[in-house]
Amino acid sequence: QQQVKQSPQSLIVQKGGISIINCAYENTAFDYFPWYQQFPGKGPALLIAIRPDVSEKKEGRFTISFNKSAKQFSLHIMDSQPGDSATYFCAASMTRTALIFGKGTTLSVSS
């Protein structure tokens, strides 16, 4: 049973465009929702995270939108750049448990 479902699997966006990646979760006890960015040959790196008592969090060009009733959250990358080309993972956890990751979205930003 996959607890965190991520879509799309891959995404191609023009430079300057908006990249949107979606995640849906099942366990209402989750209380932490991070997004990680991974480049080839590297480990995942934390990009931005949100708690369920907040509907939106913005850090620079990256925004998480959180919909608790729909059990969904999404990552928006504004003004996408070629350097943003990477694999993005959503994840979720609850207190005292390990992070559960989605299957990832490969983003390609074309110049």
Partner 1 sequence: DTGVSQDPRHKITKRGQNVTFRCDPISEHNRLYWYRQTLGQGPEFLTYFQNEAQLEKSRLLSDRFSAERPKGSFSTLEIQRTEQGDSAMYLCASSFGVWGGSSYNSPLHFGNGTRLTVT
Minimum distance, C-beta of residue 70 to partner 1, in the bound complex (Å)? 21
Distance CA 107, CA 109 (A): 7
Q: Are 57 and 34 in contact (CB under 8 A)?
A: no
**Among positions 11, 17, 22, 32, the unique one binding partner 1 when judged by CB under 8 A:** 32
Closest CA to 36 of 108, 103, 109, 111: 103
Site for partner 1 in 80-99 (CB under 8 A): 89, 91, 93-99
Residues that bind partner 1 (CB under 8 A): 6, 31-32, 34, 36, 41-46, 49, 51, 89, 91, 93-104
